[in-house]
Every structure is written in C-alpha cells, then in structure tokens.
Structure 1
Amino acid sequence: MSAASSAARPLWRPFLVFLLPMMATNILQSLSMTINNIFLGRMLGFEALAAASVFFPVAFLFIAFLIGLSAGATVLVGQAQGAGAVDKIKAVAGTSITVALAGGILIAGMGWHFAAQILTLLGTPAEIFGQAVAYARMSFLVMPFTFLFLVAASLLRGTGDTVRPLMAQIFATILGAALTPALIQGWIGLPPLGAPAAALAAGLAFLAALVALGGYLSAKGHVMAPDRALLRAMRPDPALLALILRIGLPTGVQVVAGSLAGLVIVGLVNAYGVQATAAYGAVSQIISYVQFPALSISIAASVFGAQMIGRGRPDRLGEVLRTAMAMNLILTGGLVLIVYAGSRQIIGLFLTDPAIVDLSQELLHIVAWAALMFGAGTIFSGIMRASGTVLMPMVIGLFAILGVEIPVAVLLSGQIGLPGIWWGYVASFAAMMVLQGAYFGLVWRRKTIHALI
C-alpha cells in the first residue's frame, strides 16, 4: 500500500507510521557500528580500533555515491508507487540494484588491489598499517553486500514500506553483534581474524539479512519481491539510470562536501588542544543523534511528496510540507529539549573529566537548538527533490557549508575562540533553512509539477 494512499485520514498518521520505523533503522545502523568498535577496542586494543577508524573516510566517499543512487531511485519508485505502476517500480529497482551490485564489485576489486596505496596516501601510522590494510581489504571485499542491502532498504521506502527494512536491520544488527567476537577470536572453527573480523561480520550479516528479506517479500507477494519480473529488469536502462543519477547525484555531492568541510572543522578544533578535540568528539556524537529525526523526516517528506506527484495530486504537497514541519518541531524539538535538560548526564556517557564536560556542555548548548533549522532546511529540499528539482537545492546546500559554515567558523574562532567554530554550524543551518525556504516559496512553488516516470 502506498504511504500516502489515503486521502480521507489525516496525513500525520500515515506519515508517523512511515517515519518511526525509519528512525529506528537509522539509529540501529549507527548502533551496529558502535558495537563493532566496542568489540575491536576491548578485545584487540586501541590499535585495532584505530586501524578500522582510518578506513572510515574512504568508506564514506563510496557510500556517498550509493546515497545519491538511492535518493534518485527512491523518488522514482515513490512516483511509480503513487501511480500504481508496478512495471515502472520493477524497472527502477532492476536498474538500481544492477548498478549498485556492479559498482560494489568494481570497488571491491579495485579496493582490494590498491588498499595499501590508499592508506599510504592517508598517512596511516606505521604501527597500525598492517592491520589497517587487512581491515580495508575485507571492507572492500564485502562492499557489494553493503551496497545491495542499503539500496534495497531505500527502494522499499519508496514504496512506502519502512517496517521491513527495520526488520532486516534488526536481524543484521543482532547477527553482526554475534559474529564479530566469534570471528575476532576464532570461536567457530576459523582462525582468529583480528580487526578484519568486524568488516567480515558486517558483510555476512547484510548478506544473510538480504536473503531473509528476499524470502519474506516473496512469501508476502510484495511489489519489491525478487520475482521473475524483477529478474527480467535486472539490467541497466541507460535513460532510467541517467534520470536516477540526475536526481540523486547532487545529494551525494552535498554529502561529500559536508564530509570534507568536517575535516576542515576538525583541523580548527585540533588547534585548541586535546581537550577541545575530546569535546568535539562527544558533542558531534550527540548532535548526530539529535539530527536523526530531522534527516528521517526529510526522507519521509520526499517519499510522500513523490507519491503525491505520482498520484497526480501535487496540490497536496503543501499538506506534506506542513506535516513534515510539524513533525520536525515535535520530534526534533522534543529531543533538543531532552538534550538541554540532561546535557551534563548525556555528556557524562562519553567523558569523565569535569573540565572537558564543562566545555562540551557549553558547545552543546550553542548548537543543539539549531537542529530545528537543519531539519526545516532538509525538509524543503526533500520535497523539491520529490519533483526532480535538485540542482538549486544542492547549490544552496553547498553554499551553506562552504560559503557560510567554514568562513564563519574561521572568523569567529579567531575572535571568540573555540565557541566560534560551533556558531559556524548555527549560521550554516540558518542560512540553509532561509535560502531553501525562499527558493521553495518564491520559485519552486510557481513551477508546474509533473511525474518524471
């Protein structure tokens, strides 16, 4: 059933039913990475954890490509779902899955071969170089499974289904948590694998979850079941792929830009010493969780908007916007209030030094409320993406990161010290909200909205 199929009931009800499982899925994905890091650090020592951490920026660059592919595919599946066009859903799914699989295999082969050279370019310390290369090669090897799992979850969301991706993520998280220590120590008849065990466990968990998900979808007759129609569509359609990438790649570009800007911010923070770096790490972790509702609401708004367009009801996009903004105010805002009320206790989960806790609390209080503006900006861009309008929202997003966040952080850090860096985030979120909202209201709403597929 379409996520936005009922015109009679209030939109907030199906929106919330769609949203909550997706938020839980996003939290579980982050939690599974945290669990793996805990096993590495406690069972093998900080060197193994450092070896895995070195690879994260590399993995994120490749995941950014997949985010772009998934974003475009989700919009087109949403429009096709709204129109009830099963053949188009299968066509988009077939092209997306094929490209994700081919891309994953290509990256796996190239990454395995050039892992040592990549880590050398990153300046990996000699004392962890061997472990880092082993971890990177295993991560590259299982990347096709990771790609397929993530794109399958995105395609299901496009049909309005967030429950089954959640079920699959729960299965993968539990299995990965069981496999990681077993593979690290060789408990299941295999030789101890060390740091690569975490990457292999995650890949095997994704593969098992994919198989289980496929079987479940087939048993239920789901539109995304791996049936003959989907298998026939498992070939890249050049025109369809071009449309998917046109919609999705700007999102991937913005993700990469944000990641690169983050490296600049880390450099600014590091100049203030190890206490500042520790505070940055703790506050960043907390803010990432505060932003989960906002990001999920943006995706939900994009899916609901795409389905409304597919149904020939672009007149209801205003209702989607109001519903999403209300959810942002209630869910993101509620989480922000919790963070302010319990900021010291929450920071205490990461840090124990009173001086660093005080510093972290000051920084958290500067930036936490701005998650509401971040959410509003991403909702505007999410709804515009549902119609295929992506170029100008991307330009605005890049300007907010490169033209506001970094310059303001550099300028204010020179004037007021470390807090100035965090005011750079606030300025960036404010600029994104205002500019995305202005473009949405003054330009995009005057356009004629029609289905792309």
Structure 2
Amino acid sequence: MAPPFDVPLWRRFLVFLLPLMAQNILQSLSITINNIFVGRILGVEALAAASVFFPVAFFFIAFLIGLSAGASVLIGQAYGAKKPDLVKRITGTTLTVALIGGIIIGGIGAILAPRIMALLGTPAEILPQASEFARANFAMMPFIFLFLVGSSLLRGVGDTVRPLMTQAVATCISAALTPVMILWLGLGVKSATLAQGIAYAVSTVGLGFWLRRIGHQMAPDQALFEHLKPDWHLLKTVLRVGLPTGVQVVVGSLSALVIVGLINGFGYQAAAAYGAVSQVQSYVQFPALSIAIAASIFGAQMIGSGRADRLDEVLRTAMMMNLVLTGTLVGLVYLFSGFVVGLFITDQQVVDTAQHLLHIITWASLMFGAGTIFSGIMRASGTVWIPMCIGIFCVMGIELPTATILSRVLGLEGIWWGYVASFGAMMCLQGLFYFAVWRKKTVHALV
C-alpha cells in the first residue's frame, strides 16, 4: 500500500515506482525471453513472423489500456478520499468489462488472423507462421486482459509489490514452458504466446487467492462478486477518462501498422531488425512509462484527498525521476547496444542494422517520458481530450509523414527519425498546454 501522506513525496514516489518499473521490465522480459527462444531455435524468419504481430496486439490491447487508465484514476481518487466501497465497485465493473472485451476481441481476432496479417503486407515467406502466431495470441487475450487489468487496478491503491511478485511468477512459468513447447511438443512459433497465456492464467488465479488470504481491500471476496455486474454510471465515468487514452493508443497502433508496412518493404531482415529494436527500445521507455503512470496515480490520490495544490510537486518529482532513471538506461543502451541486439539475432548484418537504428532513437526516450508525464498528471484530473488530440497530431501529423518521406530519402533509418520528431513535438506541445492552460484551471475530484 502507499505510504502515509506525511512521508516525503520523492520517497513515496520511489517506493511506488521501483516495483512498477520492475514489473514492466519483467513483463517485457517474458516476451524477450520467448523471442530469444524463437529466434535462436526456429530462426530469423520465425522471429520476423512474431515481430510483425506486435503492433497488431498493441492495437487490440488499446481497449484494455484505456479502460485501465480510466479505472486506475478513479480508484486513485476513491482511495485518496478513503472510500473503500467505491474502490470495490470500480474494481468489479472494470474486471467484468475487461473479461468480456478480451473474449470478444480474442474470438474475432482468432478467426480473422490470416486476413489481418495479409493486409499488413507480411512477406509471403513468413505469412503462414505469422498467421499461426497471431491466432494463438488472440486466443490467449482473455487471460492476458484479466492479468493486466488486475495489476493496473492494484496500482490505484498504491500497491505495486503484489503485481510485481505475480509477474515474476508468470515470467518464470512462461520461460519454462516456451522451450518445452518448441522442442518437445513441436508447437513452433505459437509456443511463445501459448506459454505466456497459460502463465498469466495461473498467475491471475494465484493473485486472487493471495489477496483473499491477506484480506486486501480489492480481494475477490463476496463484496467484489456482488459488484461484478457493471455499474453503468461508474463505467461511463471510467470510459470518459480512459477512452481518449485508448483512442490515442489505437491511433498509435494504426501508425505502427503503417510503419510495419514501410519496414516490410525493406524485406524480412528489416522486419527482424525492427523486432529487436522494438524490444530493446521498450526497455528504455519502461522507466518513462512507469513514471508517467506513477504521476497519474499520485495526482489522482492528491486530488481525492483534497491536496490538488501539490500537483506541481508531483510534476517536479516525476521529471527528476525521468531524467535520472530513463537517462541512465539510455546511456547503458548506447554502451552495450551491440550486445543486447545480439541476444535476439545471430545474423551480423541484421545486428549492425539494428544497432544503428537504436543509436538514432534511444536518446529521444527522454522527450517521450516528459510528454507522457505531462499528459499523465492532466489525466488524473479528468483532462484527457486535449492531451489526446496533441498525441494524435504528433503521430498522424508528424511521425507518419516524416517517416514516410525520410524512408524514401534516407532508407530504413529515415523511419526512426520520424519517431524522434514525434517525441520532441509531443514533449513541447503537452508542456505548453499544461503550463499555459491546464495549470490555471480549478481541479475537482471525479468521484
């Protein structure tokens, strides 16, 4: 649980942030380990087949991200206002909607997987494997949805330790199952996503029993079961806060699909390099994303407890953390870029390409972090539409045109300069709106 309000903010922030960062790293590590198994055992083509599905998965998980963002803000405010029954009601409604969404998206996606991958322009030599991987991933989405939304809701009450421990168990299970499924069961490229789905299902059940045993206020007890029927009024507020975040993620995912299409035009080796760069870059961005989540949760708790005057302190603390933590990781990646890329692929030409692309994009994670911190704090108060529009403009109006034009001028590396331009614009525009407009408004609790 979150430490008392009289503890210095930077300490509270760090206590919340470190387990959150560790969980995000472990979450990505689970995918990374599986990709290493796929790339090393099944080859570059199999890795490319798994890599091209990543933006598709992110697109469909956008629904969950928006739902979780809205629910965690409301839970943070309810927790700050000391309203445990309201916390329970928000939790029950969100879990039910997440499960239903996972079943619908997973079912439809599993049926349409081959068509989706073909529409992306997936190279013919990897299309069958890519379709197989996509179908298995869709089938696992209900389990993935429940696990991810449960972790997000716990953060709303300041609990990041239990999600971390549960993620550690899931990562170990997944890492153990994947080689077994590849080498002994002969399940091929889909082994990675099947192992992850099973790991999340087991870990979610385990987390539920753990919360019940310790009497956690969000435990799956009789009170929570009574609130599993959606509260439509609460759901409306959750969606009002979270939907813009989901829309922004959808737009970002659609742009990623366009980017994948551009990359596929350079061949499957470029697709493999993209997969490796995406994995490494996700680690670099995890501190920034974690800090933005922490800023949003702490902002919501401040608002719920009637301490909105401390939001600027939350901003300063988050920016300091971004500079120190994200900046340190950026430096490490530059020092060891060849080594980390080599974990995924053995083809030296692909390794060299991926390393060069990392050198272009990695430093821009600091700008990415600053932009998401601004929007995260504003989301804590329910201000979401303008930050969403800024984010969409940076993707559609800056990233895609820049990447498209520069890919024709500079080749493959021009695509990554589009990301750099987008991150820089997002930091400047979100910061301008924060200081020039939002900061002058009176902030009120949503629940």
Q: Give the TM-score taking structure 2 as reference length.
A: 0.90
Instruction: Give the one of 277, 282, 288 matched to 1:288.
Output: 282
Give the Å deviation of 1:313.
0.6
Distance across 2 between alignment mates of 1:433 and 1:336: 17
Is the CA contact (8 Å cut-off) linking 1:2 and 1:81 kept in structure 2?
no
- Pair 1:409 & 2:407 matched: no
Match of 2:330 in 1: 336
Letter in 1 for 2:100: A
Distance 1:283 1:329, change over 3 A: same
Match of 1:220 in 2: 214
Match of 2:227 in 1: 233
- Pair 1:425 & 2:423 matched: no
Is the CA contact (8 Å cut-off) linking 1:373 and 1:429 kept in structure 2?
yes
Q: Give the 5 Å matches for 1:13-412.
A: 13-44=11-42, 49=47, 52-53=50-51, 55-119=53-117, 121-122=119-120, 134-185=132-183, 193-268=187-262, 280-349=274-343, 362-412=356-406
Match of 2:2 in 1: 2
Is the CA contact (8 Å cut-off) linking 1:328 and 1:375 kept in structure 2?
yes
Letter in 1 for 2:140: V
Distance across 2 between alignment mates of 1:134 and 1:229: 41
Distance 1:44 1:354, change over 3 A: closer
Letter in 1 for 2:5: S
Letter in 1 for 2:2: S
Is the CA contact (8 Å cut-off) linking 1:217 and 1:225 kept in structure 2?
yes
Distance 1:274 1:19, change over 3 A: same
Give the Å deviation of 1:85.
0.6
- The C-alpha deviation readout for 1:257-277, integer Å capped at 9, x for no partner, is 222223434455566677766
Q: Which moved more, 1:337-346 or 1:268-277?
A: 268-277
Give the Å deviation of 1:72.
0.7
Letter in 2 for 1:255: V
Distance across 2 between alignment mates of 1:444 and 1:364: 35
Helix, strand or coil for the counterpart of 1:72? helix
* The structure with more radius of gyration: 1
Letter in 1 for 2:32: T
What is the RMSD of the two structures over their aligned residues, measured on CA atoms? Answer: 2.8
Give the Å deviation of 1:242.
1.4
Distance across 2 between alignment mates of 1:347 and 1:55: 19
Distance across 2 between alignment mates of 1:96 and 1:401: 29
- The C-alpha deviation readout for 1:378-405, integer Å capped at 9, x for no partner, is 0000000011111000100111111122
Letter in 1 for 2:20: M
Letter in 1 for 2:311: L
Distance 1:192 1:350, change over 3 A: closer
Distance across 1 between alignment mates of 2:123 and 2:265: 20
Give the Å deviation of 1:114.
4.0
Distance across 1 between alignment mates of 2:51 and 2:235: 33
Distance across 1 between alignment mates of 2:55 and 2:357: 24
Q: Which moved more, 1:417-426 or 1:123-132?
A: 123-132
- The C-alpha deviation readout for 1:24-71, integer Å capped at 9, x for no partner, is 111111111122233344455556555544544432222111111111
Letter in 1 for 2:301: Q
Structure 2 residue ranges without an equivalent (≥5): none
Is the CA contact (8 Å cut-off) linking 1:336 and 1:369 kept in structure 2?
yes
Is the CA contact (8 Å cut-off) linking 2:120 and 2:261 kept in structure 1?
no
Is the CA contact (8 Å cut-off) linking 1:69 and 1:245 kept in structure 2?
yes
Distance across 2 between alignment mates of 1:113 and 1:51: 18
Is the CA contact (8 Å cut-off) linking 2:27 and 2:171 kept in structure 1?
yes
Letter in 2 for 1:174: C
Percent identity over the alignment is 65
Distance across 1 between alignment mates of 2:329 and 2:176: 31
- The C-alpha deviation readout for 1:367-388, integer Å capped at 9, x for no partner, is 3222111111100000000111
Distance across 2 between alignment mates of 1:288 and 1:265: 16
Distance across 1 between alignment mates of 2:228 and 2:397: 41
Aligned length: 447
Give the Å deviation of 1:210.
1.1
Is the CA contact (8 Å cut-off) linking 2:155 and 2:297 kept in structure 1?
yes
Distance across 2 between alignment mates of 1:296 and 1:174: 22
Letter in 2 for 1:69: L
Letter in 2 for 1:139: N
- The C-alpha deviation readout for 1:300-335, integer Å capped at 9, x for no partner, is 000000000110110011110000000001101112
Distance 1:216 1:62, change over 3 A: same
Is the CA contact (8 Å cut-off) linking 1:80 and 1:310 kept in structure 2?
yes
Helix, strand or coil for the counterpart of 2:446? coil
Helix, strand or coil for the counterpart of 1:398? helix
Distance across 1 between alignment mates of 2:107 and 2:325: 42
Q: Which moved more, 1:100-109 or 1:209-218?
A: 100-109
